[in-house]
Amino acid sequence: MIERVGGMKVLLLDGETTGIVSMVFSQSQILEREVFLVERLDAENKEKMRHLNAVCFFRPTADNFLRLAKELKAPSYAEYHLFFSNVAPHSQLERLARCDEYDSVQQVHEYFADLYAINHDLFSLNLAGTVGLTQDPTAWTNFEEAVFERTVEGIFAALLALRRRPLVRYLKPSELCRRVATKLQQRMTEDHSLFDSMGVGLRAGGAGDYSAGGGGCVLLLVDRREDPVTPLLNQWTYQAMLHELIGIENNRVDMRKAPGIAEDLKEIVMSPAQDNFLEQNLSSNFGDLGVAIKRYVEAYQQQTQNTAKIESIEDMQRFVDQFPEFRKLSGNVSKHVAVVHELSRLVETNDLLDVSCLEQDLACTNNRNEHCKAVLDRLRSPDTRNMERLRLVLLYALRYENDTYIGQLKEELKKAGIEEEQVALVDALLAHAGSHVRSGDLFQNKNFLAVAKSSIQRGFKGVPNVYTQHKSLLATTLELLLKGKLKETQYPFVPTTHSTASGAASRDKPSEVIVFVVGGATFEEARDVAHLNAQGGCRIILGGTTVHNTKSFLADISQLVRGRRVSTSLDFGGASSSSSSAAAASGPLGAGALV
Residues 247 and 215 in one domain: no
**DSSP of 41-68:** TT-SSPPPEEEEEEEEEE---HHHHHHH
Please, which pLDDT band fits residue 321 given cuts at 50, 70 and 90? low
**Pairing of β 167-170 and β 217-223:** parallel
| Same domain as 256, residue 326 | yes
Per DSSP (E only), the strands in 156-212 are 167-170
Arithmetic mean of pLDDT, 231-248: 96
Report the Cα–Cα distance between both ends of the chain, in Å, rounded. 37
| 359 belongs to a structural domain | no
Query: Which residue range forms the structural domain that includes residue 249?
Result: 238-349
Residue 38 lies in a domain: yes
DSSP per position, 145-190: HHHHHHHHHHHHHHHHHHT---EEEE-TT-HHHHHHHHHHHHHHHH
In a domain, 390, yes or no: no
**461 is a domain residue:** no
In this prediction, residue 357 carries a pLDDT of 95
- In whole angstroms, what is the distance from residue 517 CA to residue 547 CA? 9
* Count of domains observed in the chain: 3
Domain-terminating residue out of 306, 324, 349: 349
Question: What pLDDT is recorded for position 91?
Answer: 94
More confident residue, 581 or 366: 366
Whether residue 50 is found in the same domain as residue 151: no
pLDDT of residue 28: 84
Whether 300 is covered by a domain: the verdict is: yes
| CATH number for the domain harbouring residue 99 | 3.40.50.2060
Do the domain assignments include residue 33?
yes
> Is 328 found in the same domain as 259?
yes
Residue 450 lies in a domain: no
Among positive and negative, which fits the CA dihedral 405, 410, 411, 412?
Answer: positive
pLDDT, position 456: 39
Per residue in 164-220, pLDDT tens? Answer: 999 999 999 999 999 999 999 999 999 988 988 887 765 433 444 545 556 789 999
Q: Do 166 and 219 share a domain, yes or no?
A: yes
Rounded CA-CA distance 19/25 in Å is 10
Length of the chain: 595
Q: Are residues 64 and 40 in the same domain?
A: yes
Boundary-marking domain end, from 349, 366, 385? 349
- Of the given ranges (97-111, 190-204, 266-280), which has the lowest mean pLDDT? 190-204
β-strands 267-269, 252-254 pairing:
antiparallel
Say what the pTM is: 0.88
Q: State the Cα–Cα distance between residues 47 and 36, nearest whole angstrom.
A: 14
CB < 8 Å & 24+ apart, contacts of 315-320: none
Per-residue pLDDT tens digits for 394-416: 999 999 999 999 999 999 999 99
Query: In terms of domains, do 215 and 256 share one?
Result: no
pLDDT of residue 589: 29
Last residue of a domain, one of 112, 129, 163: 112
On whether the CB atoms of residues 126 and 546 are closer than 8 A, the answer is: yes
Over residues 482-516, the pLDDT tens digits come to: 999 999 999 999 987 655 444 455 557 899 999 99
Q: Are residues 204 and 246 in the same domain?
A: no
Indicate whether 542 belongs to any domain: yes
On whether both 216 and 306 belong to a single domain, the answer is no
CATH of the domain at 145: 3.40.50.1910
Checking DSSP bridges between strand 77-84 and strand 539-544, what pairing results, if any?
unpaired
163 touches 524 (CB < 8 A): no
Same domain, 88 and 26: yes
Report whether 370 contacts 396 (CB < 8 A).
no
Q: What is the pLDDT of residue 297?
A: 85
254 and 165 in a single domain? The answer is no
CATH number for position 262: 3.90.830.10
Q: Based on the domain organization, do 106 and 10 belong to the same domain?
A: yes
